[in-house]
Amino acid sequence: MNKNTVLAWATGIMVIMGIIIMGLAVYRYDDVAGWGFAAVAVGFFANAWVFNALKGRM
């Protein structure tokens, strides 16, 4: 695997984990903890965006 393939896999995994964590925030934790889970999910999506932007530049 080259660097672009690794970044593509990392992007996919981060998006999947972000969706799972966002689902936990919406459906499992209705109180204040849900806001924390949602913030973490947004961070996962931001990391995935950065990994996707790095593909082809490294």
For 1-52, the pLDDT digits (tens) are 888 888 889 999 999 999 999 998 888 888 888 898 889 999 999 999 998 8
pTM: 0.81
> Could you give the angle at the alpha carbon of 40 between the alpha carbons of 2 and 26, nearest 5°?
120
pLDDT at 42: 93
Which one has a higher pLDDT value, 56 or 49? 49
Residue 11: its H or E element: helix 3-23
